[in-house]
């Protein structure tokens, strides 16, 4: 049976068919749906959200040591978080097949950088498999488990946004249960103490030699002969762009097993063709290794190393072909940046905070990154998960010792706090930092599309779980000034900020209100007044001062002819932030 699947859905299906019984991940675009789809196979496997990627990979290492087939999935920058265990399991190897999916994001569609994680395979000395479409995503995941067990090595399964989020037809197969490998205590393998590590290193080097021999033979690295005037070495989604542009006018060495590279096969292919191109997205990972091996080729001097490729870019770079296009009048194009939703609880917080003077605001990764955008313009920095609290601490300490008078507020979401922010806050508490850390608890992992986290009360597979009590947690690590507020009540929010500024020592404010897009739980409905409301502008009272538009609410517009504000009744959910912001009481609750 053939079905239309995204690459992510296909990976989940492949893991299911391969007999996986344990999977873990931390959500991150473009990887999130891999684990979400595995959660549906509840009868056959356990799928769990971890608080961060390091934990996800470590649980999977444990499951592998226990003899099961197991998979972890994360976005490219998540692998940075999980890098510590990754490098060492390169040495120890595995028991049950272990696959780590790295979903890279060329073009930074939803990421802070576009790092090329293929280098992790070379760096950590582990095998790497790359799929170019949904069918391969499913088939190659199954192959990856076999490779993992054959060579006693974790496999990096590298995907990119266009493989993860494109749909293609996939032929499904039955699940073949994987019989768990009987547990055996193996201290010389799994205790990576220096004496053992020294013994493991030569074994790893030997595995690399054997894996390169495999790479030269495996059908995952296949040649498609066409015209021999042009030869193309390619992998991942770039293969499709090459086929689209060159069709039968070139021959292809399509690589699916990309570390170690099949250098003999590449050399033999190179000898058969007149001009040899390497078409790969982002870095010259394949090209560099070919050149070191003495195989001349044309790669990054023609193909951009920045951003995503597409058929057009390839055609222009290698053939100088540019398609005719129709150009609109450029004045008709107006930007459409993403915004916080109407009714988003982050808006009340950022609106209050943005009015404070002499404040440095260190931000974090989540929807609330949008607090940095017009018209709120609040945030000063966003680097990586959890950095808001630690960067704020370092900045404040540096300001203090250098006699610079600045206040520092660190802003982080609930899931990001559980991810790594909690470690940073321990640092602040123990070293008596003088920052205000604000935890935006919207009762869910928002930006990636509503995943459960240790604060929500449910596991990924729908079982009830104990909720971490953030105020209690924060107090127990040594923060004495802790306040919980409703961020949609501006006076309350403002007072919480002023009190925290006045306090000498580390303080935490927890803003607690659910994401407006969330499917509310019974607990949410009990705790919060989530009844449908709406706000309207009383035209006679509106003076056209535009303060309400400074909240950045997408439901509010300003009519330049009447000079009055207007609220879209379809979008407004009655959060009342604009109502409180209006200095002329010109906004009221509808029907009152």
Partner 1 sequence: MSEVKNILLCGVGGQGIILASKILATGLIKAGYDVKMSEVHGMAQRGGSVTTQVRYGEKVYSPIIGKGQADVLVSFETMETPRWLDFVKPDGKVVINAYEIPSATILSGAADYPQGVIEDISSKINTTVFKAAELAEALGNIKTMNVIIVGALVKAMGLEEIVDWNEVIAETVKGKFVDVNVKAFNVGIAQVK
Beta-strand runs (E) in 294-442? 359-362, 407-413, 436-441
Compute the distance between CA of residue 217 and CA of residue 256 in angstroms, rounded to an integer. Answer: 12
Instruction: Please state the closest distance from residue 560 (CB atom) to partner 1, in A.
Output: 7
Instruction: Please state the closest distance from residue 44 (CB atom) to partner 1, in A.
Output: 26
Chain centroid offset of residue 318 CA? 32
The nearer residue to partner 1, 169 or 176, going by C-beta atoms, is 169
Instruction: Please state the closest distance from residue 271 (CB atom) to partner 1, in A.
Output: 26
Instruction: Please state the closest distance from residue 408 (CB atom) to partner 1, in A.
Output: 25
Instruction: Please state the closest distance from residue 330 (CB atom) to partner 1, in A.
Output: 8
Compute the distance between CA of residue 249 and CA of residue 269 in angstroms, rounded to an integer. Answer: 16
Inter-residue contact 422 to 373 (CB < 8 Å): no
Structure-token pair, residue 570: 């379809």
Instruction: Please state the closest distance from residue 51 (CB atom) to partner 1, in A.
Output: 20
Instruction: Please state the closest distance from residue 357 (CB atom) to partner 1, in A.
Output: 21
Compute the distance between CA of residue 117 and CA of residue 205 in angstroms, rounded to an integer. Answer: 21
Inter-residue contact 257 to 131 (CB < 8 Å): no
Inter-residue contact 243 to 252 (CB < 8 Å): yes
Compute the distance between CA of residue 189 and CA of residue 30 in angstroms, rounded to an integer. Answer: 34
Instruction: Please state the closest distance from residue 320 (CB atom) to partner 1, in A.
Output: 14
The nearer residue to partner 1, 73 or 360, going by C-beta atoms, is 73
The nearer residue to partner 1, 169 or 404, going by C-beta atoms, is 169
The nearer residue to partner 1, 113 or 476, going by C-beta atoms, is 113
Give the H/E segment covering residue 395.
helix 387-401
Residue 99 DSSP class = E
Q: Is 202 exposed, middle or buried (0-12, 13-18, 19+ CB in 10 A)?
A: exposed
Compute the distance between CA of residue 154 and CA of residue 144 in angstroms, rounded to an integer. Answer: 9
Question: Phi and psi for 530 in degrees, rounded to 5?
Answer: -110, 25
Reduced to 3 states (helix: H, G, I; strand: E, B; else coil), residue 589 is strand
Provide the 10 A C-beta neighbour count for residue 178: 18
The nearer residue to partner 1, 207 or 254, going by C-beta atoms, is 254
Compute the distance between CA of residue 445 and CA of residue 347 in angstroms, rounded to an integer. Answer: 17
Inter-residue contact 222 to 255 (CB < 8 Å): no
Q: How many CA atoms lie within 13 A of 309 on its CB side?
A: 30
Instruction: Please state the closest distance from residue 412 (CB atom) to partner 1, in A.
Output: 17
Compute the distance between CA of residue 549 and CA of residue 192 in angstroms, rounded to an integer. Answer: 58
Order of strands, sheet of 507-512, starting from the edge strand that comes earlier in the sequence: 359-362, 407-413, 436-441, 507-512, 481-485
Inter-residue contact 311 to 318 (CB < 8 Å): no
Compute the distance between CA of residue 86 and CA of residue 98 in angstroms, rounded to an integer. Answer: 11
The nearer residue to partner 1, 537 or 553, going by C-beta atoms, is 553
Structure-token pair, residue 312: 């057009």
The nearer residue to partner 1, 144 or 565, going by C-beta atoms, is 565
Structure-token pair, residue 405: 């008078």
The nearer residue to partner 1, 208 or 315, going by C-beta atoms, is 315
Inter-residue contact 214 to 151 (CB < 8 Å): yes
Looking up tokens 């609220």 gives 567
Instruction: Please state the closest distance from residue 310 (CB atom) to partner 1, in A.
Output: 5
Reduced to 3 states (helix: H, G, I; strand: E, B; else coil), residue 273 is coil
The nearer residue to partner 1, 110 or 461, going by C-beta atoms, is 110
Reduced to 3 states (helix: H, G, I; strand: E, B; else coil), residue 363 is coil
Instruction: Please state the closest distance from residue 415 (CB atom) to partner 1, in A.
Output: 15
The nearer residue to partner 1, 335 or 591, going by C-beta atoms, is 335
Instruction: Please state the closest distance from residue 188 (CB atom) to partner 1, in A.
Output: 44
Instruction: Please state the closest distance from residue 133 (CB atom) to partner 1, in A.
Output: 7
Footprint on this chain of partner 1 (rule: CB under 8 A): 2, 4, 6, 29-30, 32, 109-110, 133, 161-162, 165-169, 237, 239-241, 243-244, 310-313, 315, 322-329, 331-341, 367, 369-370, 373-375, 447-449, 546, 549-550, 552-554, 556-558, 560, 570
Compute the distance between CA of residue 387 and CA of residue 288 in angstroms, rounded to an integer. Answer: 34
The nearer residue to partner 1, 365 or 408, going by C-beta atoms, is 365
The nearer residue to partner 1, 166 or 486, going by C-beta atoms, is 166
Instruction: Please state the closest distance from residue 55 (CB atom) to partner 1, in A.
Output: 22
The nearer residue to partner 1, 244 or 498, going by C-beta atoms, is 244
Q: Before 260, cis peptide (omega within 30)? A: yes
Instruction: Please state the closest distance from residue 49 (CB atom) to partner 1, in A.
Output: 17
The nearer residue to partner 1, 432 or 569, going by C-beta atoms, is 569
CA distances in angstroms from 445 to 13, 224, 295, 411, listed in the order given: 24, 44, 48, 15
The nearer residue to partner 1, 219 or 337, going by C-beta atoms, is 337
Compute the distance between CA of residue 441 and CA of residue 514 in angstroms, rounded to an integer. Answer: 7
């Amino acid at each position: 049976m053939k079905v239309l699947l995204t690459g992510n859905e296909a990976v989940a299906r492949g893991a299911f068919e391969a007999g996986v019984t344990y999977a873990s991940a931390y959500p991150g675009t473009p990887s999130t749906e891999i684990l979400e789809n595995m959660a549906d196979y509840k009868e056959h496997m356990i799928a769990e959200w971890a608080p961060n990627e390091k934990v996800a990979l470590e649980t999977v290492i444990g499951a592998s040591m226990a003899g099961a087939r197991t998979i972890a999935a994360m976005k490219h920058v998540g692998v940075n978080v999980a890098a510590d265990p990754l490098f060492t399991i390169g040495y120890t190897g595995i028991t049950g097949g272990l696959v780590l999916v790295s979903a890279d994001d060329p073009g930074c569609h939803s990421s802070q950088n576009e790092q090329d994680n293929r280098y992790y395979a070379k760096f950590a000395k582990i095998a790497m498999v790359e799929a170019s479409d949904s069918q391969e995503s499913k088939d190659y995941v199954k192959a990856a488990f076999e490779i993992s067990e054959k060579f006693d090595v974790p496999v990096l399964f590298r995907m990119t946004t266009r493989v993860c989020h494109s749909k293609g037809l996939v032929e499904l197969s039955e699940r073949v249960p994987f019989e768990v490998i009987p547990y055996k205590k193996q201290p010389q393998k799994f205790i990576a103490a220096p004496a053992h590590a020294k013994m493991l290193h030569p074994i790893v080097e030997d595995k690399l030699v054997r894996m390169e021999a495999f790479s030269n033979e495996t059908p995952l690295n296949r040649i498609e002969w066409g015209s021999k005037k042009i030869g193309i070495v390619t992998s991942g989604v770039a293969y499709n762009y090459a086929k689209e542009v060159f069709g039968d006018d070139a021959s292809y060495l399509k690589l699916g097993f990309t570390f170690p590279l099949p250098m003999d096969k590449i050399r033999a292919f190179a000898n058969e063709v007149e001009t040899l191109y390497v078409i790969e997205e982002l870095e010259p990972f394949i090209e560099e290794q070919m050149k070191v091996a003495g195989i001349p080729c044309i790669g990054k001097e023609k193909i951009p190393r920045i951003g995503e490729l597409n058929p057009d870019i390839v055609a222009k770079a290698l053939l100088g072909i540019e398609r005719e296009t129709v150009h609109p009048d450029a004045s008709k194009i107006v930007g459409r940046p993403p915004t916080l939703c109407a009714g988003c609880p982050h808006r009340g917080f950022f609106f209050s905070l943005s009015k404070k003077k002499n404040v440095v605001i260190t931000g974090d990764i989540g929807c609330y990154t949008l607090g940095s955008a017009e018209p709120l313009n609040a945030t000063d920095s966003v680097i990586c998960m959890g950095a808001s609290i630690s960067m704020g601490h370092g900045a404040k300490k540096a300001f203090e010792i250098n006699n610079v008078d600045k206040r520092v507020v660190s802003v982080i979401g609930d899931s990001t706090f559980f991810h790594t922010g909690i470690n940073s806050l321990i640092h602040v508490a123990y070293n008596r930092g003088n920052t205000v850390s604000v935890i935006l608890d919207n009762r869910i992992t928002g930006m990636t599309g509503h995943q459960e986290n240790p604060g929500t009360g449910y596991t990924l597979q729908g079982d009830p779980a104990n909720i971490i009590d953030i105020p209690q947690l924060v107090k127990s690590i040594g923060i004495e000034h802790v306040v919980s507020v409703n961020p949609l009540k501006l006076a309350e929010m403002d007072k919480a900020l002023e009190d925290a500024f006045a306090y000498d020592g580390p303080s935490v404010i927890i803003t607690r209100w659910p994401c407006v897009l969330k499917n509310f739980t019974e607990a949410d409905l009990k705790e919060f007044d989530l009844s449908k409301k709406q706000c309207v502008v009383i035209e006679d009272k509106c003076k056209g001062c535009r303060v309400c538009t400074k909240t950045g609410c997408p439901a509010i517009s300003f009519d330049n002819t009447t000079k009055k504000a207007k609220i879209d009744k379809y979008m407004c959910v009655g959060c009342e932030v604009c109502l409180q912001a209006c200095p002329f009481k010109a906004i009221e609750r509808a029907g009152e």
